Amino acid sequence: MDKRVQERKVIHMGWMPIEITEITSCLSKAHNWKTLGNDQIQNYWLKAFLVIHRHIRKNFNSIVEEPEKAPAWLIAGINYLILKSGDSKEVRNYRPTTCLTKMYKTLTGIIAKRISTYLEEQRLLPAE
């Protein structure tokens, strides 16, 4: 075996319930008045009403434990066509963008942060 190759044990990434601090942290990075998704909620209000974070936590954990029970509105978005340049009558001059719900962005942001932290701790990402 090549001496440069080191065997190391990778620890399994277990699931821990989402904490209120993760919700607060994720929401703190969100812009207050972005375009609304289907939920029609501005980030400002999610940040301001801290009392709802425990309810969000409970529902997020339920969704992660039983994804098939996730409400349809959570993963639905509103699609818009944005004119890139050129003739506005030509379809090819548009690009689609989707406004997703704040709840979806928050949940996936928490999961992405956890995965990123795990990959860094286990040194599973290349230096590049």
Distance CA 51, CA 65 (A): 23
Residue 117, strand partner residues: none
Please give, one letter per residue, the 3-state secondary structure of the chain: CCCCCCCCCCCCCCCCCCCHHHHHHHHHCCCCCCCCCCCCCCHHHHHHCHHHHHHHHHHHHHHHHCHHHCCHHHHCEEEEEEECCCCCCCHHHEEEEEEECHHHHHHHHHHHHHHHHHHHHCCCCCCC
Question: Does 8 score more than 80 pLDDT?
Answer: no
Instruction: Identify the pLDDT of residue 1.
Output: 43
* pLDDT given at position 7: 67
**Tens-place pLDDT, residues 44-96:** 999 999 999 999 999 999 999 999 989 999 988 888 999 999 999 999 999 99
Measured in whole angstroms, how far is the alpha carbon of residue 16 from the centre of its chain?
17
Residue 77 phi, psi (nearest 5): -135, 170
